[in-house]
């Protein structure tokens, strides 16, 4: 599923960035461009980051 329509960034790409060490929406924007245009996807990116942090603390 696309997270960022403007830059055609998928949820998988965001997860890859997180796996590579990204911990903020800015780091994901720098790596993928997501959030650099209209910024409507930033909330979704933050939710994915939070979910991954929650999963990391449980594991």
Q: Among 3.40.470.10, 1.10.10.60, 1.10.10.1100, 1.10.1040.50, what is the CATH number of 2-58?
A: 1.10.10.1100
Helices assigned H by DSSP within 1-59: 11-19, 25-32, 42-58
Region 15-40: what's the mean pLDDT?
96
What is the percentage of the chain residues whose pLDDT exceeds 90? 88
> Mean pLDDT of all residues in the chain?
95
Distances (CA, A) of 5 to 42, 44, 50, 56: 12, 12, 21, 28
Please state the domain extents for the chain: 2-58
For the residues 9-35, what does the mean pLDDT come to? 97
Backbone dihedral region of 34: left (phi > 0), alpha (psi from -120 to 50 degrees) or beta?
beta
Residue with tokens 């929406």: 25
- What value does the mean pLDDT take over residues 35-54? 95
């Amino acid at each position: 599923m696309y997270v960022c329509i403007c830059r055609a960034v998928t949820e998988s790409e965001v997860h890859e960035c997180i796996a590579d060490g990204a911990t903020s929406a800015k780091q994901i924007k720098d790596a993928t461009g997501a959030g650099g245009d209209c910024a409507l996807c930033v909330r979704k990116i933050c939710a994915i980051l939070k979910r991954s942090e929650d999963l990391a603390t449980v594991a």
